[in-house]
Amino acid sequence: MDLHAPLGQERKGGKGKKPRPRLSTLSSVLAGLALVGVSLWTSLTPLPLSQDPPITLAEKSEEPTIAIAGTEREPLDSAGGLPTSGPRDGANVRRTTTDDGNVVTTFTPSSRSGPVIIGASETQDPRLAGQPNDDLLEDTPEGRLPIVSASGLRPVDYYARPWSGARGTRIAIVIGGIGLSQTGSQKAVHDLPEDVTLAFAATGNSLTRWMQEARRKGHEVLLQVPMEPFDYPNNDPGRNTLIAEANAATNLKNLHKAMGQITNYTGIMNYMGGRFLADDKAMDPVMRDIAARGLLFLDDGSTARSLSGDFAKAIGFPQAFADVVIDSQIDRQAILAKLDELERIARRNGQAIGVGAAFDETIDAVAKWRDEAVSRGVEIVGVSAIAAE
């Protein structure tokens, strides 16, 4: 019987023949076979998972590196990119230079590791602050002198005191003459806040001991080199003074004798020197040597005829002028008034430098005024944070 014939009828010639499947049944079978085939092919050749590419920003020039205190410099990768960790909302930053000269910056998430610190890409571990970095020293007949390391690291960067990088009012206070008086040196190192810069007189005593104590406490350190004043020799800065009429070899030898007295300093500061600083012939080899050794130069601002700024611009190294001598009168109230003047200059210009000596009155006044200034929003920084390059 033909089951597909109308009820009560049989198809003509249908007796003995197999029924033909309908088209819908055949399509269902073919679809099932196709589904099985696709599933089998997918299981044997799985498709890769889709992945969003990292966010990149193309730049025409590289931004300044922002370092976090306590981190180590990472090596260049094979593509020439420098991985850096910076305060970019907890992101790791990698910059890579492409073949066409553009700089591609890639940001990937990471957690913050501490407060934002602006400074050098490699600075000294505070736990080792009393010890020098041997890579930044050379042995000479005049002692161990500062140099730029084989990797290009400079003493001015390595020994610099870090600062916040905030766009606020910055003041550097430099107290000099450390080493000339044992009691004055002890009071300065122990009583002055750690963000005050200390300048060590090359003609002083026990300099290494005082330097190590100062560095361990957190002070940035300068070296004061004696230079010829206008009334020399009636006013004598001390042994190995740099003299305007002396030849270059003599002045460089005396400069190196001064440099060899201590280590761990970011730069040189003049001790007196009105005549020497105004003599371009005498200044040229000395300024070039300071620059080549990776140091800054702080001019105490005692003479308007100084050429140190001109040499710094011509040669290209960090240099700064002091704005105010805070203790031209050795009186506590007078010193406080000078410090207020220094703050007014800093608020007008964004930054300022004050210099003084390790007198009891100066130390007491600076310690008191510093706390009040910080409460008013002033940041006290090491002098290297202000020296312009």
With respect to residue 114, please indicate whether it lies within any of the assigned structural domains.
Answer: no
**Confidence band of 388 (pLDDT split at 50, 70, 90):** confident
Q: What per-residue confidence (pLDDT) applies to 124?
A: 86
Beta bridge partners of 173: 354
345 and 303 in one domain?
yes
With respect to residue 39, please indicate whether it lies within any of the assigned structural domains.
Answer: no
With respect to residue 30, please indicate whether it lies within any of the assigned structural domains.
Answer: no
143 and 241 in one domain?
yes
156 and 230 in one domain?
yes
- CATH number for the domain including 267? 3.20.20.370
136 and 183 in one domain?
yes
Provide the domain limits for residue 141: 126-385
Domain final residue pick, 42, 74, 109: 109
With respect to residue 18, please indicate whether it lies within any of the assigned structural domains.
Answer: no
Residue 139 above 80 pLDDT? Answer: yes
| Residue bearing the bigger pLDDT, 144 or 121 | 144
Q: Give the whole-angstrom CA distance, residue 95 versus residue 43.
A: 40
Residue 228 above 70 pLDDT? Answer: yes
Which tens digits make up the pLDDT trace of 57-66?
334 333 333 3
Residue 350 above 90 pLDDT? Answer: yes
| Residue bearing the bigger pLDDT, 224 or 48 | 224
Q: What per-residue confidence (pLDDT) applies to 93?
A: 43
**pLDDT over 90 for what percent of the chain?**
66
323 and 263 in one domain?
yes
Mean pLDDT of the chain: 80
Residue 16 above 60 pLDDT? Answer: no
With respect to residue 116, please indicate whether it lies within any of the assigned structural domains.
Answer: no
Residue 235 above 50 pLDDT? Answer: yes
200 and 74 in one domain?
no
99 and 211 in one domain?
no
Q: What per-residue confidence (pLDDT) applies to 127?
A: 84
Residue 208 above 90 pLDDT? Answer: yes
Q: What is the phi/psi pair of residue 281, to 5°?
A: -65, -40
Structurally, how many domains does the chain consist of?
2
**Confidence band of 125 (pLDDT split at 50, 70, 90):** confident
With respect to residue 377, please indicate whether it lies within any of the assigned structural domains.
Answer: yes
265 and 358 in one domain?
yes
For residue 233, say if its preceding peptide bond is cis, omega within 30 degrees of 0: yes
**Confidence band of 69 (pLDDT split at 50, 70, 90):** very low
With respect to residue 37, please indicate whether it lies within any of the assigned structural domains.
Answer: no
Beta bridge partners of 170: 351, 379
130 and 185 in one domain?
yes
336 and 290 in one domain?
yes
With respect to residue 183, please indicate whether it lies within any of the assigned structural domains.
Answer: yes
The 3-state DSSP class for residue 186 equals helix
Q: What per-residue confidence (pLDDT) applies to 81?
A: 36
234 and 309 in one domain?
yes
Q: What per-residue confidence (pLDDT) applies to 238?
A: 95
Rounded to the nearest 10 degrees, the angle between the axes of helix 308-315 and helix 280-292 is: 50
336 and 214 in one domain?
yes
**Confidence band of 375 (pLDDT split at 50, 70, 90):** very high
